Amino acid sequence: MARKRKSVPKDKKSRVPKKYLSGTKGSKRAKLASVIKRISALYKAGKTVPRSLIKQRIALGKSNGKKKRSKTKKSRR
């Protein structure tokens, strides 16, 4: 008997696996999800995925370089 695989955790709104949307919030997250869905549909249909869509996905996934720093200071030994 085959083992049942655990389902992948998905985003509630877009139903896209969460790992593809990590690090994004709000409207950027929704845009990224729609781009991923478009790429997926084209790939499944056997059509070529345009470079512009791939570039768009990469741009949406990138951060603007601002990262939060922890407020606690690390002690030196």
Query: SS3 string of 27-54?
Result: HHHHHHHHHHHHHHHHHHCCCCCCHHHH
What's this model's pTM, rounded to 2 decimal places? 0.76
So what's the pLDDT on residue 62?
Answer: 81
Is residue 12 in some structural domain?
A: no
Query: Residue 71: what are its φ and ψ, rounded to 5°?
Result: -80, -20
- Structural domain for 53, as ranges: 18-61
So what's the pLDDT on residue 71?
Answer: 74
Query: 47: which residues sit within 8 A by CB, 6+ positions away?
Result: none
Is residue 30 in some structural domain?
A: yes
DSSP structure class, residue 62: S
Is residue 52 in some structural domain?
A: yes
| pLDDT band per the 50, 70, 90 thresholds, residue 68 | low
